[in-house]
Amino acid sequence: MPYLWYNLINQTRSKDTMKDNEKIDVDYRNTSIENLLEDMKYDISDRTFDEYSNAVKSFFFDFIKIDSITIKDIEEVTVKDGNEWIYQMKKDGLGNSTINKKAGGLLWFYKHLISSNEYDISMNPFSTDLGSNRLKLKRYSDGIRISDDKLKELNNYFLKRRDWIGERNYLMFLIFVTTGMRHSEVLHIKIGDFFDYGDKFAVKFTGKGDKLNISEIPQGVKQILHSFIIRSDWDYTMREQSLFVAKPESNVPITKMRTTDIFKEAYRRVGLPEETRIHDLRHTYITKSIEMGLDIYDISKRVGHSSVDTTRRYDHTFRIFNNNPAEDFFSQLSGSSQENYPALKLIKGVM
């Protein structure tokens, strides 16, 4: 596709030359891309569709700048074209996370085209396996233990929204908090994964390494689950029905990107640090379990860790200072040796 690539690399672009959304929408109307997107809007939420479709429109009508986009133009986009767009967005000052989301929107768009088998597209130009770039995000590997007060605020925040999506999000929050399950594990829960075991209620799930695991679900959460299933017009015979979907009539789990946005907004509303992640609910569950005195080996099995050493990395308690014999050892030193040192004085600005 030489003519298209030539068009891309020879453009001098800046924020000032980017089209506004209104102009993009005018160019977009009644085009092949509009028709294609209309056929793709099912099985994802309206909000996710808006995000993805806006990314597609931005790429084709603001970056490519061909007067009339045809199916042939769509088929001829290369990995190199996509990476040039990603580079341009970075130059224009967009954040790495935003850029990655937009690239994800194009990845979704081409996945649909390829799966339809109606177009001459053999590879996805936005696939990282084929060389499509993603920008590095800052990682916070240490994690945090969310305070009990903030957990209560989060509970109240999710509880306020009483529509179907609100109840879905609240149930998802409760499962994260009360089980310590990983993000992907929660998203792939199905109705048939829940079961009664004596007087207990539990959920089975596939963890890392395709290992089957089981986690107990509190009775209060069971009641909310039951209410949500009824509200969704489902029943317990629908064992393959995914629980956390965009719409009750769908059976496709919502994306990690979407759930991350949901929790980012919740964290912002209750005043948690911007870097707080969904995974920090797992850190919180493990730390609270340790604080309650539960055996760390049992906790490790419960959350699906292959080694107790991994579980210890999630421990945000200050048990290192509890029952530490250092003070006893020091107090047993001879009084004369201690008298050789003056009382410690704190100097302002130093300690």
What's residue 21's pLDDT? 56
Which H or E element spans position 80?
Answer: helix 79-91
Distance CA 84, CA 310 (A): 40
What is the per-residue DSSP string for 154-207?
Answer: HHHHHHH--SHHHHHHHHHHHHHHHH---HHHHHT-BGGGEEEETTEEEEEEE-
Distance CA 164, CA 158 (A): 12
Note the Cα 73 to chain centre separation in Å: 33
What's residue 348's pLDDT? 43
Whether the Cβ atoms of residue 237 and residue 221 lie closer than 8 Å to each other: no
Segment 228-248 shows an average pLDDT of 96
Least confident of 22-36, 115-129, 141-155, 275-289: 22-36
Whether the Cβ atoms of residue 106 and residue 56 lie closer than 8 Å to each other: yes
What's residue 345's pLDDT? 43
Query: Out of 1.10.1040.10, 3.40.50.720, 1.10.443.10, 2.40.50.140, which CATH number does the structure's domain 148-289 have?
Result: 1.10.443.10
Whether the Cβ atoms of residue 311 and residue 286 lie closer than 8 Å to each other: yes
- Does the structure show a pLDDT above 60 at 332? no
Tokens 């977009």 correspond to 28
- Does the structure show a pLDDT above 80 at 128? yes
- Does the structure show a pLDDT above 60 at 130? yes
- At 245 the three-state DSSP class reads strand
Segment 107-113 shows an average pLDDT of 90
Highest-confidence range of 51-65, 186-200, 318-332, by mean pLDDT? 186-200
Q: What is the mean pLDDT of the chain?
A: 80
Q: According to CATH, what is the number of the domain 2-130?
A: 1.10.150.130
Distance CA 211, CA 202 (A): 16
Q: Token pair for residue 58?
A: 């931005």
What's residue 250's pLDDT? 94
Q: Where are the domains of the chain?
A: 2-130, 148-289
Highest-confidence range of 97-101, 277-281, 285-289, by mean pLDDT? 277-281
Per-residue pLDDT band for 183 (boundaries 50, 70, 90) equals very high
- Does the structure show a pLDDT above 50 at 157? yes
What is the per-residue DSSP string for 274-297?
Answer: TT--THHHHHHHHHHHHHTT--HH
What's residue 11's pLDDT? 42
Residue 70: partners with Cβ closer than 8 Å, 6 or more residues away: 32
From 205, 170, 208, 209, select the one nearest 190 (Cα to Cα). 205
Segment 8-20 shows an average pLDDT of 41
Distance CA 106, CA 20 (A): 20
Segment 148-173 shows an average pLDDT of 94
pLDDT by residue (tens digit) across 40-93? 877 677 878 888 988 988 898 888 776 677 888 888 899 999 999 999 998 888
Tokens 């929107």 correspond to 105
Least confident of 11-20, 91-100, 190-199, 287-296: 11-20
Distance CA 111, CA 113 (A): 5
- At 113 the three-state DSSP class reads helix
Least confident of 33-42, 143-152, 228-237: 33-42
- Does the structure show a pLDDT above 70 at 111? yes
Whether the Cβ atoms of residue 108 and residue 101 lie closer than 8 Å to each other: no
Tokens 């799930």 correspond to 205
What's residue 121's pLDDT? 84
What's residue 140's pLDDT? 43
Least confident of 167-176, 237-246, 248-257, 330-339: 330-339
Tokens 């879905």 correspond to 168
Query: What is the 3 state secondary structure string of 139-154?
Result: CCCCCCCCCHHHHHHH
